[in-house]
Each structure stands twice: as structure tokens, then as C-alpha cells.
Amino acid sequence: MARETVADMPEWCTVEVAMSVLGGKWKMLIVKYLLDGACRFGALQRALPGITHRMLSRQLRELEADGIVARRAYAQVPPKVEYSLTPIGAQLCGVSSALEEWGGRYRRAASAAAPAAGRAAGGAPEPGGTSGD
């Protein structure tokens, strides 16, 4: 068992609940994209550069099991499946934008501190500098 403990976690760690559902490399990205509107499997894959067919499929199924996304399959000859956010999934809008805003701010700071080297080897984004917005 890994993270089937949503309703099982103590009161104090609601963020842990959220992270357990949105954790991983792709979940948030998928959600963020679906916030723009429902779309097909193929469209999603095209939208997530780097994700494999298998991974997208798996993440989608997990999100579905978690009640975040809804799956609508059309009984056609060329299979067509549309994914969309459930109401609770749509409410991730706030999380997504907060993450986006901070991410942008952080990257800006990181770029300012290490214009040509990312931050791999200690290039921390200058704590007391560019972050003053």
C-alpha cells in the first residue's frame, strides 16, 4: 500500500492529502491542462511534451480513481475518449495558479542568481534579492 490513506490522515496535514493526490511528475501538469477544458487522450499527450503513452494512461487512471478527472469514452470505431475535470478537480484551479505564480517568481529569482547555469550545483536564487515584488 502506498497512499490509500486520504480519509485516514490526521487533521493537521491537509497539504499532505493534496500532495498525495497531486504528487508525482505529471498529475499537476495534466490537471493544469484540463483546466482549460476537456480533451482527448491524444491531445493531452501532445500537450504534455515528454510524457509517454503509458504514463499518461496510468496517471489518467489514477486521477480518475481519485475522483479528480472524469473519463468519457465514445463507442466508436476509432476509439475516442475525452477527459475532463470533476467538480472537485476543477477546484484545483486555485492551487494551479498559486503554483504557477510562485514557480514563475522562483524561476525569475533563479535566473537572476545563475543566468547561465540553472541551480544544479548550488545556484540558489538569491534569498534577499529579486524576490521583492
Partner DNA sequence: CAGGATCCTGTGCGATACTG
Partner DNA sequence: CAGTATCGCACAGGATCCTG
Q: Which residues in this chain contact its own copies in the complex, by CB under 8 A?
A: 1, 4-10, 13-19, 21, 23-25, 28-29, 32, 49, 64-67, 70, 86-89, 91-92, 94-107, 109-111, 113-115, 117-122, 124-128, 131-133
Cell 485516514 belongs to residue: 8
* End-to-end C-alpha distance for the chain, whole angstroms: 43
**By CB under 7 A, residue 57 contacts DNA:** yes
Q: Between 56 and 92, whose beta carbon lies closer to its own copies?
A: 92
73 contact choice in its own copies, DNA, none (CB below 5 to 8 Å, kind-dependent): DNA
Rounded Cα distance, 56 and 98, in Å? 24
Strand partners, 74: 80
Measured from the CB of residue 41, what is the shortest distance to DNA in angstroms?
A: 3
Q: Of the candidates 90, 35, 26, which has an alpha carbon nearest to the alpha carbon of residue 53?
A: 26
